């Protein structure tokens, strides 16, 4: 995924303060549109650290503690799904650039 991110550095610049508490609207929207279980977390791109994990993350992946670094999430991706995940990242970055 680094290749995808590095090809669009301007879209992923992190000039914001770390978020302490995710807004409740994220959970409401997630529950409205999710088909089945879901989880989210806040990613600090500059540090590749995770925070504000949604509790479903633990049982969905059989984890005992919340991951602290993005690398731990990437390691959960099945090898057969890597290409799909890379394409999803590309599409996300393109959408970020369209929105500005």
Helical ranges in the chain per DSSP H: 2-6, 24-33, 57-61, 70-74, 82-99
For residue 97, give both structure tokens: 């650039």
pTM attached to this predicted model: 0.60
pLDDT score for 77: 92
pLDDT digits (tens, 9 = 90+) for 60-76: 999 999 999 999 999 99
In this predicted structure, what is the pLDDT of residue 17?
57
pLDDT band at 22 (very low <50, low <70, confident <90, very high): low
Cβ 48 vs Cβ 71: under 8 Å:
yes
Displacement of CA 15 from its chain's centroid (Å): 17
Highest mean pLDDT among 2-6, 26-30, 40-44 belongs to 40-44
């Amino acid at each position: 995924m680094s290749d995808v991110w590095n090809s669009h550095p301007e879209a992923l610049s992190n000039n914001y303060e770390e978020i302490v508490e995710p807004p409740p609207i994220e959970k409401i929207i997630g529950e409205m549109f999710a088909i089945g279980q879901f989880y989210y977390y806040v990613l600090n791109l500059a540090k590749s650290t995770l925070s504000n994990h949604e509790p479903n993350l633990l049982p969905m992946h059989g984890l005992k503690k919340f991951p602290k670094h993005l690398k731990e999430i990437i390691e959960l991706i099945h090898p057969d799904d890597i290409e799909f995940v890379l394409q999803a990242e590309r599409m996300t970055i393109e959408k970020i650039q369209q929105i500005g």
